[in-house]
Structure 1
Amino acid sequence: MVKRGVLQVQRILFISGMRRFDTMHIDIDDLALIRAICEHGSVTRAAEALHLTQSAASWRLKKLEQQVGGALFQRTGRGMKPNAMGERCFRSAQRILGDLASLKRDIATLQEGGHGTVRMASECYTTYHWLPKMLTSFRTVHPNVDIELVVEATEDPIPFLLNGRLDVALMTKVAGLSSYEALSQQPLFEDEMIAVTSAHHPWSSRSYIDASDFSDEHLIVYQRYDLEREPPRPLPLPQGAKPKKISTFPMTTEGVIELVRASMGVTVMASWAASSYLEKGGLSRTRITTEGMWRMWYAVRREDETPTYLDDFHRLLQTLYAALPH
């Protein structure tokens, strides 16, 4: 039998915990500070981003940690990293602040009688070659809706979506997206990845290659595939492929193509992206595996984005691939 004194102590502890929860006040500014520290890695840079003094940001963080009853960040030689509690607060901050930004935009759209803006980005720079045609079609249907290309979100669109600074992102890699309750993904189309070589390369006479054929090759790809970057981005290769050498360059598609044309290596890219360069000569395309190597494109957006023009934007994206050169 449990003694009455033990029950009383347990009741006191429970009531004390409830009172502590009731007196905890976390406001929008607190959430903005948590998000800024997680994104910038220090109180100093977070304060600059929020237009605060460092002392004001440090004071707010200290009061917040006192309220939650513990530290939210680990101080390391590489900056401040959120601990388990800080990571939990960060996820909520992203969702709540993103919801608030989305709400403000929806209210502004309703007040302006259907006027609005679609802020979009693509994880692949080459898509910006064909997007203008689709955007022109969209503007004929929604002349009062502006299109804003958020180029700085190209490398990693997810934080921009969560923070409400982006409405839709075109992505091919959506692993782990299910962990973000605020986001949804809709499949758009598949495109084929092909090997591009100089016209004199041995692959030019073959109908297809497989993973083992890359073992003696120098692969030239964009800097975004640098394996030392965090988080690393998987190389556009068939499973099991291990090139002899990999070079990443901070350059445009034209730069990569010219190195390949000069027989300095091989590259892999979408068939539609390579088509205009192949027409100029000096290059050859080869299918990867007998079935081809395909990737799926998705439109990723916030679940709470409701303007009807976003649905029309998505439908136009779905019909886009058929008009691309192959």
Structure 2
Amino acid sequence: MLERIHLTIIREVERQGSLTAAAAALFVTQSALSHTIKKIELQLGTAIWTREGRTLRLTQAGQYLLALAHRLLPQLDHAEQRMHQYAEGQRGTLRIGMECHPCYQWLLKVVSPYLANWPDVDVDVKQKFQFGGLGALFGYDIDILVTPDPLYKPGLRFEPVFDYEQVLVVGQQHPLAHHAYVVPKQLSTETLITYPVEIERLDIYNQFLLPAGYAPRKHKVIETTDIMLQMVAAGRGVAALPGWLVAEYADKVAITPVRLGRNGIPKQLFFGVRETDAPIDYLEAFVALARQAGQPTGAADQRR
């Protein structure tokens, strides 16, 4: 019979790359781990690993079990943690995954009143995922995914939170600062500054530049919004950001929003959740509070 410990061993051997390291991570001796591995293969009636010198490589059966371990073990760990929290009188931990880099500051404004309203629920925010945002949801690494680009899959539900417009951000002295809108060709001589996101997921590329056959002269990646906007204000490049974010920084940094194309690029922010978790009261309450908060103050005229 396949047991949880079997999946744990398979995952750990693959993670560590050797029996010696895996045994240390599992707090057992190498001989005991070798014996357990042989017992697993005997019980299952098939080889899980093949040896290549000192290296263990998974067979086809082993690869299947490794994929199963990646799916099931996080769910079991999550269930055990939840049961422990219930036993301690806690409601649980709401784990929020972020695929919207500029939304972090806005999210903090939602988290603050939420923590006050739900004192027995903790909140954790994650911005990096081993298997991407959807993988984190399916793998029970997070409970809510904050994203402007929902990918609808069976078992997931995406709730719209608010509308906004993606705009070009330029310095106040930039030649484009007084234009009503820009066209793709005008950015072909510019340095475009973006967050560290794959090009195919950047609206400025997939909804504006690439369909028209243009690319920026240079592409720079910056992780921090404040540094990005300081660079733009200093004339070191241009950026594409949500209009509400530009409105928040307008009084602090010498920047100006310009519409991308005559009709702009409208967008929505979504919360993605697992359908089975959607009825959980403290999760529903967070989504409702975020909708009530809507766009950040001062951004009502900046639709995306």
Partners in 2 of 1:171 and 1:115 — Cα distance? 25
Query: Is 1:47 the equivalent of 2:19?
Result: no
SS at match of 1:202: coil
Query: Is 1:259 the equivalent of 2:231?
Result: yes
| 1:202 matched residue in structure 2 | 175
Displacement of 1:50 in angstroms is 4.7
Which of 164, 174, 185 aligns to 1:191? It is 164
Q: Say if 2:49 and 2:58, in contact at 8 Å, map to a contact too.
A: yes
In our comparison, the structure showing a higher alpha carbon Rg is 1
Partners in 1 of 2:22 and 2:73 — Cα distance? 17
| 1:221 matched residue in structure 2 | 194
| 1:12 matched residue in structure 2 | none
Displacement of 1:304 in angstroms is 3.8
Partners in 1 of 2:219 and 2:201 — Cα distance? 13
Query: Against the structure 1 CA distance between its residues 43 and 188, is the aligned structure 2 distance closer, same or farther, given a 3 Å change threshold?
Result: farther
Partners in 2 of 1:44 and 1:184 — Cα distance? 41
| 1:235 matched residue in structure 2 | 202
Partners in 2 of 1:201 and 1:119 — Cα distance? 41
SS at match of 2:140: coil
Query: Against the structure 1 CA distance between its residues 219 and 57, is the aligned structure 2 distance closer, same or farther, given a 3 Å change threshold?
Result: farther
Displacement of 1:266 in angstroms is 0.8
RMSD value, Cα: 3.8
Query: Is 1:247 the equivalent of 2:224?
Result: no
Q: Say if 1:99 and 1:304, in contact at 8 Å, map to a contact too.
A: no
Q: Which amino acid aligns with 1:100?
A: L
Any unmatched runs of 5+ in structure 2? Answer: 300-304
| 1:27 matched residue in structure 2 | 3
Displacement of 1:285 in angstroms is 1.0
User: C-alpha deviations, 1:229-269, integer Å up to 9, x for none?
Assistant: xxxx52331242421211123x4111111221121211111
How does the TM-score come out when normalised to structure 2?
0.76
| 1:294 matched residue in structure 2 | 266
Query: Is 1:140 the equivalent of 2:116?
Result: yes
Q: Which amino acid aligns with 2:103?
A: T
Q: Which amino acid aligns with 1:31?
A: L
SS at match of 1:242: coil
Q: Which amino acid aligns with 2:241?
A: M
| 2:254 matched residue in structure 1 | 282
Partners in 2 of 1:280 and 1:109 — Cα distance? 43
Q: Which amino acid aligns with 1:172?
A: P
Displacement of 1:283 in angstroms is 1.7
SS at match of 1:274: helix
Number of residue-to-residue matches in the alignment: 288
Q: Say if 1:123 and 1:154, in contact at 8 Å, map to a contact too.
A: no
Partners in 1 of 2:270 and 2:226 — Cα distance? 26
| 1:316 matched residue in structure 2 | 289
Query: Against the structure 1 CA distance between its residues 82 and 314, is the aligned structure 2 distance closer, same or farther, given a 3 Å change threshold?
Result: farther
Q: Which amino acid aligns with 1:69?
A: T
Partners in 1 of 2:57 and 2:170 — Cα distance? 44
SS at match of 2:108: helix
| 1:92 matched residue in structure 2 | 68
- Percent identity of paired positions between Structure 1 and Structure 2: 23
Any unmatched runs of 5+ in structure 1? Answer: 1-24, 228-232
Displacement of 1:102 in angstroms is 3.7
Displacement of 1:153 in angstroms is 4.4
Query: Against the structure 1 CA distance between its residues 89 and 270, is the aligned structure 2 distance closer, same or farther, given a 3 Å change threshold?
Result: farther
Query: Is 1:211 the equivalent of 2:184?
Result: yes
Partners in 1 of 2:87 and 2:95 — Cα distance? 19
Query: Against the structure 1 CA distance between its residues 188 and 158, is the aligned structure 2 distance closer, same or farther, given a 3 Å change threshold?
Result: same
